[in-house]
Structure 1
């Protein structure tokens, strides 16, 4: 059985770039922005930026990037940075030139950034001063000149650093002072569906992170789908009760390099005529201060942030209930208990969940506009124009309330994985996307995520591929074999735990000298030295004599996942 969204696909322009869509495109789903409503607000200073100012900055940076770095058609620029008010300006400037943006986590190690540089063949890195040392090492290893590293403007950049590196501000000002040297990229009818805009990294269903090829049309489609679903430009109820209103203020604590932050928290919020307060780095108490200081009404969060909202003692010191009127949680399922706590804390706010993937250029479901409270445990209903199948293990289609893998067809689907035909073939099938998530869909259209069929873990909302960590573990001299699984965690959702088979020499040393714990600490530190923080082995290391495999040699990860759950139960009991 195929389940269709309650609303058909809206009109989606296929001949405009993302910046043209944001600055110039009129649409029935787009409200008229109040003149006094800024687009972006710098959290620390309160400095605001309107649409005309952002358009000018986009032009200036595009002109500077073209003149100084010759950025043009299909050139890739990596944004290796935390959120910054010029982050979207950099996106739109590169798109104006026909280039491609690839966001990178600013906490990456040198090897992780190097991998992204090599996969995307990026020609420029834009980063913040704090990330410059890692950027320099990765660029050197990739053969990229240090002169092609640009810094976002911040206080305290030393004179020596400024001598060696341009800033976004200096490139932008140069572009504004000088004659226009570029021709804005104009798309032919239909070209938006194939013209590449982003290479956003996702672990897909297995293996190392893959570059998801996202065209301009996909981001534009998802923004419009969300706007239509939420009736952003419709007087469907009293003004006071509408979910998204022009002039409302949202907070950007989600990173813009993550697809949730990029599409929903940034572009959809701006399209909806709202202001966005840009937060460089999430700090919970500082977020509470920001809510009060800027009268923030809309929180777009992930489960760990919701945990803090419900349980952190500092919440009692802030009267945030009079400001917050909408909370949406995505990136990973939210427990029934946390949902109930949110409902009690904010009795009049719109609260619910959404579900999506990088491969679908974000949301495919969201809690209905007909209710203020999303059904606990549900990820909402299908967005306009979306079609779902629930496929049972035997390949047949499930009916209502039957479990199976969610397979999605949506206007916002990505093109596939860049330079990875095999992975594309496995996930993108005849216009459908295999999500790797087990769900059931009720007669009311509510989608409930039951389990993850794919091997990917979700740690603090970030994807973590076991195979990537296993490869890292095998580089440790004491490790003969390894299998990584996710174990439940109240704060992070789940965390990685490694089952490790020691080499014969290490096993003898552990038995002879009783130094198993020392070896365990060394293995944990090895991963910490080579991987970003959310990939660290927070679940620990368990030594085993062998890793169970199928006759074909495939790791029987589910067997070890069940074993890990039993270990966790014993640990909890021992603490009690």
Structure 2
């Protein structure tokens, strides 16, 4: 059996008798830097307001007191947070954990049916909601039979009118009354089984699944990341992850990337977060300049904007020391282009999953620009295998299915034994990704196994074509899917978002669109082998659909294209 271990370590002891807020707020750890009491933990992007450790602790404990008094939230109860980023996000999470209850974070862009599915699956007892999402929450609560007085507003609306309690009012209430709860204490080993989060996976097939994440998983991954950061041989002032570095927190806290890595790892290491409630690209550029942000976690759409958006050159981005692209792989071409935007920063990719909560790889220490196409190097404590369809192990440079064993592994999917049998096998997490892992423990993600195309028997990775097409001057975004053909199998088709200049040319000359499509097809023909051609053609689209973490919703576009193709074939057959 070929097992590749993440370099570094061994890992120090990982507490298995602590909840997440106890680990973050109450106890010390030998790998935690000594931090000044007066430094900010968060900076509110819109106002510049700073929030420190003592305020976070006080608000957490006061909110827990109010939640116990008013709703009797306790052991194993589930509380849903349906909100964009907010400086009270960790307060809501940790207050619920103080009571032994479980947090389930929901995407605030969910529609009624999607939120109903999550509330029903988790049997949520209380909902924290931002006022901008209130109408959907009220309708969903009625559908699942949840009383409307179980709704709490994260913020009061600008007009000040609302019949619901707010987080601030509950904090004030909890501070003014005697302590009414006994904090949940864990027995030795209980941290490995006590559920902290029910985070929903972002799969594109079927309904999302609730991933059961224990307290130990979050604590373990923090320690893994810290041990990796400490192993950086560069001088202290050049380290991308260290106390004093300032992180842009524009990625959503309801997603594992924002929740597990940016928020919890950032706090633990003493890296203040500039919290953006609503991501707007130009606002991010302004914030980098205003707050002298050093660390920029990205998802692929942000990377595309950094390369393509004309406003990038209008701002001073020289403080950026590290750009880390995660949540979905990007092409070597795009990674290199981002590195050109930040010539002094480290630029690399990382890999993680909700089921591994969260980080499996991070950018290499010894490279300013990570190995192009690599998703980083395995962090300490990670063991990896790459296997063939028959379960045998692949050679170092042979692609296969990616399996990992991590101390931060989730317990499985809630009430979904079939998915558990497919994904969690003998302590290994079956990721569903086609990868290569070399002997330096570097990971190269080829594509999702179910998304690989077969053209005349040859495998074609859509991500490879997307990275190549994105370099075309008339392309601002792209997604490659396939049409079905009896002879060829898959016919690669590119959905393309034209650049602003291309759109302007098309508006002036109706024939320009077909010229651009033909030019893109020729561009691929000139640059790729024969079986990687766009034999399915090019279609223009206004926006490429993605999930909140930046992953392409390829299946949606694939089904759309195939449906249209079948209708066209039917018309031709009738003629």
TM-score in same-fold range (> 0.5)? yes
Note closer, same or farther for the CA distance 1:205–1:359 as it changes in structure 2 (3 Å cut): farther
Alignment-derived partner of residue 272 in structure 1: 269
1:2 aligns with 2:3: yes
Question: Structure 1 residues 374 and 430, CA, compared in 2 at 3 Å: closer, same or farther?
Answer: same
Match of 1:343 among 313, 317, 339: 339
Tell me which residue corresponds to 2:124.
122
Contact 1:81 1:105 in 2 (8 A): yes
Partner Cα separation in structure 2 for residue 83 and residue 538 of structure 1? 29
- Alignment correspondent of 2:89: 87
Question: Within the alignment, does 1:220 sit opposite 2:219 as a pair?
Answer: yes
Distance in 2, matches of 1:67 and 1:133, equals 26
Deviation (angstroms), 1:492: 6.3
- Residues 320 and 203 (structure 1), Cα distance of their counterparts in 2 relative to 1, 3 Å cut: closer
Tell me the TM-score normalized by structure 2: 0.80
The 5 A counterparts of 1:484-499 are 488=466, 490=470, 494=479
**Do the aligned residues in 1 keep the contact of 2:11 with 2:227 (CA within 8 Å)?**
no
Offset at residue 543 of structure 1 (A): 3.1
Q: CA deviation at 1:239?
A: 2.4
Following the alignment from structure 2 to structure 1, what is the Cα–Cα distance between the partners of residues 201 and 480? 18
User: What is the root-mean-square deviation in Å for CA atoms of aligned residues?
Assistant: 2.7
User: Where does residue 468 of structure 1 map in the other structure?
Assistant: none
Structure 1 residues 415 and 54 mapped into 2: Cα distance closer, same or farther (>3 Å)?
A: same
Q: Is contact 1:405–1:439 with CA below 8 Å preserved after alignment?
A: yes
Matched, 1:21 2:7: no
* 424, 441, 447: which one aligns with 2:443: 447
Note if 1:189 corresponds to 2:188. yes
Counterpart Cα distance in 2 of 1:334 and 1:372: 17
CA drift at 1:34? 3.1
Residue correspondence of structure 1 range 53-132 to structure 2 within 5 A: 53-132=55-134
Query: 1:153 Cα shift?
Result: 1.7
Q: TM-score, normalised by structure 1?
A: 0.80
Matched, 1:313 2:294: no
**Contact 2:3/2:383, CA 8 A, preserved across alignment:** yes
Pair 1:437 & 2:466 matched: no
SS of residue in 1 equivalent to 2:136: helix
Superposition deviation, residue 542 in structure 1:
3.8
1:69–1:495 Cα change, 3 Å: farther
Structure-2 separation of matches of 1:174 and 1:494? 50
CA contact 1:83–1:281 (8 Å) conserved in 2: yes
Query: Structure 2, unaligned stretches of length 5 or more?
Result: 454-461, 471-475, 485-540, 570-575
- Tell me, yes or no, if the aligned pair for 1:497 and 1:538 is still in contact at 8 Å: no
Judging changes above 3 Å, is the alpha-carbon distance between structure 1 residues 494 and 72 closer, same or farther for their aligned structure 2 residues? Answer: farther
Q: Deviations over 1:367-402 (max 9, x none)?
A: 222333211110111111111110012221112111
**Following superposition of structure 1 onto structure 2, how do residues 456-535 of structure 1 map, counting pairs within 5 Å?**
488=466, 490=470, 494=479
Tell me the CA shift for residue 6 of structure 1.
1.5
Does residue 376 of the first structure (1) align with residue 372 of the second (2)? yes
Q: State whether structure 2 residue 40 is matched by structure 1 residue 38.
A: yes
Please give the secondary structure, in 2, of the residue aligned with 1:388: strand
* Equivalent pair of 2:37/2:53 in contact (CA under 8 Å): no
2:383 aligns to what?
Answer: 387
Give the match for residue 422 of structure 1. 418
Which residue of structure 2 aligns with residue 571 of structure 1? none
Residue deviations 1:99-150 (CA, integer Å, cap 9, x gap): 1001101011001000000000001110111100000000000000111110
Instruction: Quote the offset at 1:495 in angstroms.
Output: 7.6
Distance 1:346 1:544, change over 3 A: closer
Paired position in structure 2 for 1:481 = none
**What SS is found at the alignment partner of 1:440?**
strand
Shift of 1:418: 0.5
Q: Find out whether 1:169 has 2:165 as its counterpart.
A: no
Shift of 1:60: 0.6
Cα distance in 1 for residues equivalent to 2:347 and 2:62: 40
CA distance change for structure 1 residues 158 and 538 in 2, over 3 Å: closer, same or farther? Answer: farther
Q: Which runs of 5+ in 1 are unaligned?
A: 458-484, 500-523, 548-562, 564-576
Q: 1:320 to 1:145 in 2, by over 3 A?
A: same
**SS of 1:305 mapped into structure 2:** helix
Match of 1:514 in 2: none
Residues 98, 492 of structure 1: CA spacing in aligned structure 2 closer, same or farther, 3 A cutoff? farther
Out of 367, 373, 376, the residue aligned to residue 363 of structure 2 is 367
Distance 1:276 1:99, change over 3 A: same
C-alpha distance 235-384 of structure 1, shift in aligned 2 (>3 A): closer
1:356 to 345, 348, 352: 352
